[in-house]
């Protein structure tokens, strides 16, 4: 039986989000840490490390331990997990919580094992891994045995996980590289080419979230002051960037995402394709918060597209739901429970 304190965890390339039974979402932090090579010590985790991005002194490195769903540095990853999970569950010897963690399709068996061990060291009694799009679907629509085929696209920072889910199981799934960061990178490129201005990742993220849209919505003349380095003079410079420029910058990234979705839908078995056309596409993940994305995909693909409530939290919420229904879930997926030790 699930207990108060059991956790659901979405370990993403961009953010680590934790749901705790009885308390809801208790953490949503950038999945980063800042490491000081000169003293071999991690200085900051999460939001504190994010503040250093683009301003780190030479002896400090900001790590993203997970990239494109693949573990880049196991030591850094376990250090981050340990820190963030312990903050949430405390240092317990007895009554340690159970955990459900969502993993990307890119994770191999060794990485999965490493994640389970890392979670045990971080304080979880036992960790069950589930597929990310299944967790996303459960977070948006908490019904395990929903018999209808649904297409879920979990648009993260680095990757978009796409799956058709029917009856609590994954009927087909794939992963594409076009996701939230593709739009951010496109803004950096555009500002460099059009304004000869070099801007950092955080600045481009701020532009995207504040005025970015991929579909004509609201006031096109909205603008934002943007500071960077002039590539010709080498000096700091500020310009004004307009919403329609940001939209132009992101056109190609939108095309890549839509092409990726298209490729997946073309390969859906015919008996499920009908369900997908009827139920539409469910968008989850932080990338789904991009303004106009739902409208642009619906119009381009001629399929209804719905953004989940609290899209960025769906995977963690789904893990939280799964930890409460673990036995049922395992029966459905036919998997044996993995133990933490
Ligand atoms: N308000 C917003 N508007 C547009 N994009 C947003 C907004 N808020 C967050 N994002 C984008 O969401 C993405 C991160 O989403 P999310 O937290 O789901 O990623 P992740 O799960 O850590 O990554 P991945 O699933 O690739 O491992 C980033 O690209 C970020 O820019
Ligand atoms: Mg994610």
**Which CATH number fits the domain that encloses residue 182?**
3.30.420.40
Please report the atom of ligand 1 found closest to the CA of residue 15: 22
Query: Does 339 map to a domain?
Result: no
**Residues 222, 124 within the same domain:** no
Ligand 2 geometric centre to CA of 285 (Å): 6
Segments forming the whole domain that contains residue 209: 143-307
Determine phi and psi for 98, rounding to 5 degrees.
Answer: -90, 160
pLDDT of 340 reads: 40
HEC profile for the chain?
CCCCCCEEEEECCCEEEEEECCCEEEEEEECCEEEECCCCEEEEEHHHHHCCCCCCCCCEEEECCEECCEECCHHHHHHHHHHHHHHHHCCCCCCCCEEEEEECCCCCHHHHHHHHHHHHHHCCCEEEEEEHHHHHHHHHCCCCCCCCCEEEEEECCCCEEEEEEECCEEEEEEEECCCHHHHHHHHHHHHHHHHCEECCHHHHHHHHHHHCECCCCCCCCCEEEEEEEECCCCCEEEEEEEHHHHHHHCHHHHHHHHHHHHHHHHCCCHHHHHHHHHHCEEEECHHHHCECHHHHHHHHHCCCEEECCCHHHHHHHHHHHHHHCHHHHHHHHCCCCCCCC
**Residues 277, 252 within the same domain:** yes
pLDDT of 332 reads: 72
What averages of pLDDT result for each successive group of 10 residues across the chain (341 residues)?
A: 80 95 95 94 94 88 87 91 90 85 88 92 93 94 80 94 87 89 98 97 96 87 94 95 96 94 85 87 97 96 94 97 89 57 33
pLDDT of 101 reads: 96
Query: Does 89 map to a domain?
Result: yes
**Residues 177, 276 within the same domain:** yes
**Residues 199, 109 within the same domain:** no
**Residues 149, 287 within the same domain:** yes
180 lines ligand 1 (CB under 6 A): yes
pLDDT of 221 reads: 82
**Residues 147, 106 within the same domain:** no
Instruction: Tell me how far apart the alpha carbons of residues 109 and 338 are, in angstroms, rounded to a whole number.
Output: 12
pLDDT of 339 reads: 42
Query: Does 341 map to a domain?
Result: no
**Residues 163, 31 within the same domain:** no
Ligand 1 geometric centre to CA of 156 (Å): 5
Please report the atom of ligand 1 found closest to the CA of residue 284: 18
Query: Does 234 map to a domain?
Result: yes
15 lines ligand 1 (CB under 6 A): yes
**Residues 85, 158 within the same domain:** no
**Residues 280, 161 within the same domain:** yes
287 lines ligand 1 (CB under 6 A): yes
Query: Does 85 map to a domain?
Result: yes
pLDDT of 334 reads: 65
**Residues 271, 325 within the same domain:** no
**Residues 50, 71 within the same domain:** yes
Number of domains in the chain: 2
pLDDT of 189 reads: 98
Query: Does 340 map to a domain?
Result: no
Q: Residue 214: name the closest of 142, 317, 277, 307 by CA.
A: 307
**Residues 322, 252 within the same domain:** no
Query: Does 38 map to a domain?
Result: yes
14 lines ligand 1 (CB under 6 A): yes
Ligand 1 geometric centre to CA of 161 (Å): 13
Query: Does 92 map to a domain?
Result: yes
Residues within 5 Å of ion ligand 2, judged at the Cβ atom:
12, 156
pLDDT of 259 reads: 92
């Amino acid at each position: 039986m699930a207990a108060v304190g059991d956790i659901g965890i979405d370990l993403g390339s961009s953010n680590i989000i934790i749901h705790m039974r009885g308390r809801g979402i208790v953490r949503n932090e950038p999945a980063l840490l800042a490491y000081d090579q000169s003293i071999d010590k991690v200085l900051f985790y999460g939001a504190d490390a994010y503040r250093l991005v683009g301003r780190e002194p030479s002896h400090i490195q900001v790590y993203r331990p997970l990239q494109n769903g693949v573990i880049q540095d196991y030591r850094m990853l376990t250090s981050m997990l340990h820190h963030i999970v312990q903050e949430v569950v405390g240092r317990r010897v007895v009554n340690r919580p159970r955990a459900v963690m969502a993993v990307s399709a890119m994770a191999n068996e060794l990485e999965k094992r490493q994640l389970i061990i890392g979670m045990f060291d971080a304080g979880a009694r036992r960790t069950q891994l589930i597929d990310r799009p299944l967790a996303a679907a459960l977070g948006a629509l908490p019904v395990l045995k929903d018999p209808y085929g649904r297409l879920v696209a979990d648009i993260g920072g680095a990757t978009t996980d796409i799956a058709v889910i029917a009856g609590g199981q994954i009927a087909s799934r794939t992963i594409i590289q076009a996701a939230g960061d593709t739009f951010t990178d496109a803004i950096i490129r555009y500002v460099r080419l059009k304004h000869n201005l070099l801007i950092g990742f955080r600045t481009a993220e701020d532009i995207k979230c504040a005025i970015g849209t991929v579909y004509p919505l609201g006031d096109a003349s909205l603008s934002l002051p943007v500071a960077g380095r002039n590539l010709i003079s080498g000096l700091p410079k500020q310009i004004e960037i307009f919403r329609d420029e940001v939209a132009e910058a992101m056109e190609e990234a939108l095309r890549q995402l839509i092409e990726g979705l298209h490729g997946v839908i073309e390969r859906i078995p015919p008996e499920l394709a009908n369900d997908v056309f009827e139920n539409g596409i469910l968008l989850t993940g932080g990338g789904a918060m991009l303004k106009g994305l739902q409208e642009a995909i619906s119009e381009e693909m001629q399929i209804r597209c719905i953004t989940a409530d609290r899209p960025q939290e769906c995977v963690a919420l789904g893990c939280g739901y799964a930890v409460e229904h673990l036995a049922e879930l395992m029966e459905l997926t036919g998997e044996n429970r993995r133990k933490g030790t």
